[in-house]
Chain A
């Protein structure tokens, strides 16, 4: 059993928030740098068939939601899986993005194309203001700050009725549009979501391959070591927190203009926790993990709708099984199998 607090004053124990992920990698990682980029392109090109092959519009709408959820979960994975920081307010940033973009459109008549960057900037700015005090300390500090922030946001979404529409939700949000061509059907929205999610996934991959990405992982694995090689761990964490929140803001803006509606419960603390769960089930700290997380987050609730009462139970149970069997989630399964096979062979 791990005793995280035990002997925190000795050199031998890692920083408390350092998350030890048993990561197995195939040899030839230097060559793998290319292949993740290539794989990303292949997956996204394959996805292009969705609007044509989909049996009905509902399926396309699910695909759309999946791509939005992917942005959300991948951005949280960047912070949590690679940066080792647990945010319990990711749904709050998502909501802030949605309401900023939606309210700018509904109350101030600004188009979705202005709302989208505004949402990204404002959520990033909010993250900066929270991150500056909250990331100076270790441990549960960021979790508490983001939890509180999310709870405050939900109250605001509910109570600032003049602006947000309150518990009934924000109505009358207009879709993205090119002049008079409005992206108001699922099939028309798909290409936009396809493109934005590709760009976000690409940005995350690029970041991970850069010095900043290495610094981030270094800080998460061993902050003392990171300090010693001249990495400003505070700034690194802050940067990634801001980026991650900004991406959640983008997801929020996409959500509100695609659904043309937003209501407070979508952005609750409980959903923030569910997002953390999705990162874990998909594969925390693994690039492809969020894809699995987003698939489950999008597909499972409708599939289980008919067993409404048992849904929660099955879901929680499945989560426990995945985490106990493969702590690195679904994306970590191949590596676990590989190690298991290797140990059987020897």
Chain B
């Protein structure tokens, strides 16, 4: 009984870490533009599929994943320069819509260049399963949790300590203040796309050994990330983590104890109920407009 619960817990935290990464990317772009970024999930797919391609070429997983992440970050920056930056009168709805177009283009490019077949590669460790105190755990899940933690810590330090991170936060809170620090708003939007692509690509690179990667998964990843962000509280970094973990655990336990057929329905029902009860998310502050 407890073994099952522990196993579900580990699995839930593993999936939840992935959702947390995607939600973080979602939040960063939301903070700088106020828009929903539909392309977020596509970067996850790109991360996984490019890693697979590079692994086939180099047989070095670490190198393949690192290179793939860098490539996707470049793609994120290029995306912002190509489709967001040219907008003459950007507003949240327009940016959201443009990001849908971007998602469609990215997905079809990935399909045309990298193919339609699901791809994968082995886990980061030789041993695929460890037994810890009677609980069988996939080593890749541990990698996922560890790398996510490392990334979150790095992000935390970036936003709290580095000049650029502080400027980015300042710009999200108050564009005038950002201008005083000497940060152009356009630059912060580009930077937010880079970070979002980073988070997405990392999620893709570390989940692929467990699930394989194919061009059409982007939308699903995007929705889950968006849901996790809403659950935790849109725009909040700790919110992304809490929301991602909550969603991951919800899915793991829901599909085991109730029904795996209805996994998504259960997760979304609980999510909506939580949001109706706590509209601002688990950690977010109410989005009330003051005068």
Q: How far is the CB of A71 from chain B (nearest CB, A)?
A: 21
CA distance A95 to B61 in the complex (A): 44
Q: How far is the CB of A265 from chain B (nearest CB, A)?
A: 12
Contact A317 B105 (CB under 8 A): yes
One of B95, B108, B172, B287 near A6 (C-beta < 8 A): B172
CA distance A48 to B86 in the complex (A): 42
Residue B235 interfacial (CB < 8 Å): yes
Say which one of A7-15, A33-41, A242-250 lies at the interface with B: A7-15
Chain A interface mostly: helix
Contact A316 B91 (CB under 8 A): no
Residue A313 interfacial (CB < 8 Å): yes
Binary contact readout A272-294 vs B (1 if CB under 8 angstroms, 0 otherwise): 01001100100010000000000
One of B32, B96, B265 near A3 (C-beta < 8 A): B32
Residue B262 interfacial (CB < 8 Å): yes
Residue A156 interfacial (CB < 8 Å): yes
Q: How far is the CB of A343 from chain B (nearest CB, A)?
A: 13
Contact A86 B93 (CB under 8 A): yes
Range for the number of chain A residues in contact with chain B: 35 or more
Within 8 A of A (CB), among B100-146: 100-105, 107-109, 111-112
Known: A4-B92, A136-B279, A327-B94. A270 touches B33 (CB 8 A): no
Binary contact readout B273-291 vs A (1 if CB under 8 angstroms, 0 otherwise): 0011001000000110111
CA distance A19 to B94 in the complex (A): 8
Contact B35 A4 (CB under 8 A): yes
CA distance A22 to B33 in the complex (A): 19
Residue B166 interfacial (CB < 8 Å): no
Contact B104 A16 (CB under 8 A): no
Contact B101 A316 (CB under 8 A): yes
Residue B161 interfacial (CB < 8 Å): no
Contact A2 B92 (CB under 8 A): yes
Chain A residues positioned under 8 Å from B227 (CB to CB): 144, 147-148
Compute the total of residue contacts between A and B using a CB distance below 8 Å: 172
Known: A269-B219, A323-B98. A309 touches B185 (CB 8 A): no
CA distance A177 to B73 in the complex (A): 58
Chain A residues positioned under 8 Å from B235 (CB to CB): 5
Q: How far is the CB of A92 from chain B (nearest CB, A)?
A: 11
Contact B172 A159 (CB under 8 A): no
CA distance A313 to B110 in the complex (A): 10
Known: A3-B172, A6-B173. A270 touches B262 (CB 8 A): no
Chain B residues positioned under 8 Å from A270 (CB to CB): 219
One of A137, A309, A315 near B287 (C-beta < 8 A): A137
CA distance A40 to B95 in the complex (A): 32
Residue A20 interfacial (CB < 8 Å): yes
Chain A residues positioned under 8 Å from B97 (CB to CB): 276-277, 280, 323
One of B36, B102, B103, B186 near A1 (C-beta < 8 A): B186
Contact A6 B83 (CB under 8 A): no
Looking at A141, A144, A223, A269, the one whose CB has the most chain B CB atoms below 10 A away is A144
CA distance A237 to B148 in the complex (A): 40
CA distance A17 to B223 in the complex (A): 20
Contact A144 B226 (CB under 8 A): yes
Residue A138 interfacial (CB < 8 Å): yes
Residue A182 interfacial (CB < 8 Å): no
Residue B197 interfacial (CB < 8 Å): no
Q: How far is the CB of A176 from chain B (nearest CB, A)?
A: 32
Chain A residues positioned under 8 Å from B265 (CB to CB): 151-152, 155-156, 159
Looking at B88, B95, B172, B275, the one whose CB has the most chain A CB atoms below 10 A away is B275
Chain A residues positioned under 8 Å from B104 (CB to CB): 312-313, 315-316, 319
Residue A149 interfacial (CB < 8 Å): yes
Contact A323 B287 (CB under 8 A): no
Residue A84 interfacial (CB < 8 Å): yes
Chain A residues positioned under 8 Å from B31 (CB to CB): 5
Contact A145 B272 (CB under 8 A): yes
Chain A residues positioned under 8 Å from B223 (CB to CB): 147, 151, 269
Given contacts A5-B31, A141-B275, A309-B111, list 16 more A-B pairs with CB under 8 A.
Answer: A1-B33, A1-B189, A2-B95, A6-B175, A16-B287, A137-B286, A144-B226, A155-B262, A223-B289, A277-B97, A277-B100, A284-B93, A311-B108, A312-B111, A320-B98, A320-B102
| Complex A-B: 8 CB contacts under 8 Å | A3-B34, A7-B175, A16-B289, A19-B91, A138-B289, A152-B265, A277-B100, A312-B111
By a beta-carbon cutoff of 8 Å, the part of chain B in contact with chain A is 30-36, 38, 83, 86-98, 100-105, 107-109, 111-112, 171-176, 185-186, 189, 219, 223, 226-227, 230, 234-235, 261-262, 264-265, 268-269, 271-272, 275-276, 279, 286-287, 289-291
Counting from the closest, the 3 A-B pairs by CB-CB distance are A4-B34, A316-B104, A312-B108
